[in-house]
Amino acid sequence: MIAFAVIALLILASASLAMCLRNLVHSVLLLVANWAGIAVFYLWAGAEFVAFAQLLVYVGAVSMLSLFAVLLTRRSFHDLDIIPESVSRATWALLTAGAVAGVLIGTILGSPFGNVTEAAPAVSMRQLGEELAGTHVAGLLVVGIILTVALLGGVVIASKDKEDKS
């Protein structure tokens, strides 16, 4: 339970801090800490494979994408500090998010979950591989196609148009 408390604190603190900071680079780096914290949560829950996949994809790849995007959409070092949002917008956003969280937590606390299984489900790497290439092979193929299309689409969208040489 202490481990869970530490992980939860890491996840929530890094996420909320990231969303409050002015400096974009700091925000992104804190979000990376948040993703790493989620990977630690997966490890804590016993899902080794997902934890490492999370680290590889989010900490290794998505973080780099975001940082590159941050650096490509600014003009100088001082351009990074974001103009503060209007107070009414922030208030409404916080109220909405709070209401959603309230409803969710109320439902969770109110619903009967019965007894939880104590032992973590044991699943070996080999079993996972066989499931992935057997039962879920259609999903695997679709994901492969989606990733390829997304990669090509990303390159096409982000590359410069031929005519505007500005």
Partner 1 sequence: MSATNDAFLETFPVTLRDAATNWLPAPWNWLAQGLIAVVAVLAIFGSLFAILTLVERKALGRVQNRPGPNRTGLPYTARLPWLKFTEGKIFGLGQPMADGIKMLTKEDIVPREADQVLHFIAPVAMLAMSLMTFAVIPFGRNLVPVELDASVLYFFAAGAATELAVFMAGWGSRNKFALLAAMRALAQLISYELPLILSFVPVVMIAGSLSTVGIVAAQSSWHWGFIPHWYVLTPWGFAGFLIFMVSALAESNRSPFDLPEAESELIAGHLTEYSGFKYALFFMAEYLGMTALSGMAVTLFLGGWNAPLPFLQFIPSYVWFAVKLLTLLMGFIWIRATLPRLRMDQLMHLSWKFLVPLCLVNLANTTVWHLTASLPLAVRWLLCAVIIVAPFTLIGRSLTKGVAPRTYRYAE
Partner 2 sequence: MNPLQLCLILSSLLFAVGLAAALARTHAILVLLGVELMLNAANLNFIAFWRYGPPASPADGIMFVVFSIAVAAAEAAVGLALIIAVYRHQKNIRLQEANRLKG
Interface positions, 125-154, toward partner 2 (CB under 8 A):
127-128, 131-132, 136, 139, 143, 146-147, 149-151, 153-154
Q: Tell me, by CB under 8 A, how many residues bind partner 1.
A: 21
Q: Which of residues 57-86 bind partner 2 (CB under 8 A)?
A: 57-58, 61-62, 65-66, 68-70, 72-73, 82, 85
- The site map against partner 1 for 105-134 (x = CB under 8 A) is -------------------xxx--------
Cα 79 to chain centroid distance, Å, stands at: 26
- Tell me how far apart the terminal alpha carbons of the chain are, to the nearest angstrom: 57
**Among the listed residues 52, 92, 93, 149, the single contact to partner 1 using CB under 8 A:** 52
Q: Which of residues 82-111 bind partner 2 (CB under 8 A)?
A: 82, 85, 89-90, 92-94, 96-98, 100-101, 104-105, 108-109
Question: CB 91: neighbour CB atoms within 10 A?
Answer: 10
Cα–Cα distances (Å) from 148 to 5, 94, 115, 144, 145, in that order, read 39, 37, 43, 6, 5
Kindly report the backbone phi and psi dihedral angles of residue 14, in degrees, each rounded to the nearest multiple of 5, phi listed first.
-65, -35
Q: CA 14 to CA 8: how far, in whole Å? A: 10
Say if residues 7 and 65 touch (Cβ distance below 8 Å).
no
* Site residues for partner 1 per CB under 8 A: 25, 29, 32, 48-49, 52-53, 55-56, 59-61, 63-64, 67-68, 71, 77, 124-126
